Structures are given as C-alpha cells and as structure tokens.
Amino acid sequence: MTFWDHANPTAFMRLSGAVLPWVSGAAGICLCTGLTWGLMLTPPAQGFGASVKVIYVHVPAAMMAINLWLMMVLASGLWFVRRHHVSALAAKAAAPVGLTMTLIALVTGALWGEPVWGTWWAWDPRLTAFLILFLSYLGYVALWRAVPHTEAAADLAALLCLVGSVFALVSRYAVLFWAQGLHQGATLSLDRAEHIANVYWVPLVVTIAGFVALSVALVLARTRTEIRRRRIDFLQERARRA
C-alpha cells in the first residue's frame, strides 16, 4: 500500500483506529511521567527560581503550536496538489489543537516572563510573531466555519495556511534574525554550552514526547470526526434530493 492509498477515507479510518489507542496511551504515560518529574522533582534554577518549572508546559506547547501549523501547511499543499479530502480535513482538525497549544504557550510565557523580565508582555520579535500566529489560527478556524461549501473552505483555508507559515517560521527562528528582545535562545540545543542542565533536560524531553503524542492523538481523533461528519452531510444531502 502506498502513501496515497492512506488518503482514502476508509483506509485512513482503519489505520487511525488501530494507531489511536497506542498513541493515546503513550501520551498519557509520557505526560504523567514528565510533568510529575519536572514539576515535583527538579530543583529551582539559579536566576529563575521555581518559575523555571513553567518550562515543562511552555516549551512543549510552543513547539507543538509551530509544528502543528507546519503540518497544516503540508496537508494544505497536498490538498492543492492531489485534492484528497482527508488532507484538507486533517488540516481543519489540527487547527483547534494548534490554537489551544498557542494559547497555552502565550499564557505560560506571560506567567514565566513576569517574575524573570518584570513584565507580562513585551513586543519582542518572537512574542509578536507568536501572537500573529495565534491570530492566524483564529482566522483559519473562523474561515472554515464561515464558508459552508467544503471545497471552497478548504481552498481559502489552505491559502491562509500557506501565508501564515511565514509567522510560524519567524516564531521559531526570530532570535536568530534579531539580536534584540527579551526572549532567550533555544532551550534545547545541540551546542552543549547552550544546553540546559540534564536535571531539567531529561524530564523536558519526556514531556515533549507526551505533547507530541497527545497532539497526534487529538488530530487523529478530530480527523476521524470530520470524516464522519462529512459522510453524514453527504447522506443527508442525498436523502433531500431523493
């Protein structure tokens, strides 16, 4: 079976139904382990105090907010090229999950920034780009709700998604583009000199794995719901015409 065979709704429902319980279980295990370890068992950090523990929610949520938008860009590109409805519905399903992750990242960033920077918000390049990403998510969700025809909504939403990808990339790499700004550099780095200490790094990696698995599980579950809703709409439309 090729990749494109899984774009068939029946094949997708069968595959996702088999995968979903395992991904959900992995999400539960990793989140319970990582959050308990990070929030309860790690010491306060020099210069940050106990506020450093916000990292176990803020960083994974911010990573998933950006990566879910990039996943939506990929799905939108597949929709434009192949016109497979599963890809459009997957992008639609991912948007509320990404919106929630972006909101969590903004709120926890403010909670972390106030004791460290002395302010809840600053028009820092990365923060500003992240706020625009949040508004892009809102616009994407609203666009799907505003346009009743599925294919027209998918086309317009995909176009918005491609445009919004600029802000997703800027959110990720803003600290490399501009030297100014309050936001620190990357928390996870291949450079050992910039890497956080292992006592914080290990539980953070476990928590990130949990956020990834949770996001995948939610997107799969929501995509399955969107496919069922589309089938119901089709059957209702056929019954009206009969």
Q: How does residue 104 score in pLDDT terms, banded at 50, 70 and 90? A: very high
CA distance 91 to 30: 25
The pLDDT value given to residue 212: 97
- How many of the other CB atoms lie within 10 Å of CB of 90? 26
Q: Is the pLDDT of residue 94 over 80?
A: yes
The pLDDT value given to residue 206: 94
Average pLDDT, the chain: 82
Residues 6+ apart with CB under 8 A from 211: 31, 60, 61, 63, 64, 101
Q: Please, what sign has the CA dihedral across residues 172, 46, 109, 217? A: positive
What are the pLDDT digits (tens) for 145-169? Answer: 888 787 888 888 888 888 877 766 6
Residues 6+ apart with CB under 8 A from 222: 93, 94, 96, 97
Mean pLDDT, to the nearest integer, of 56-74?
A: 92
Q: Which one is predicted more confidently, 33 or 165?
A: 33
Mean pLDDT, to the nearest integer, of 34-58?
A: 82
Prediction pTM value: 0.85
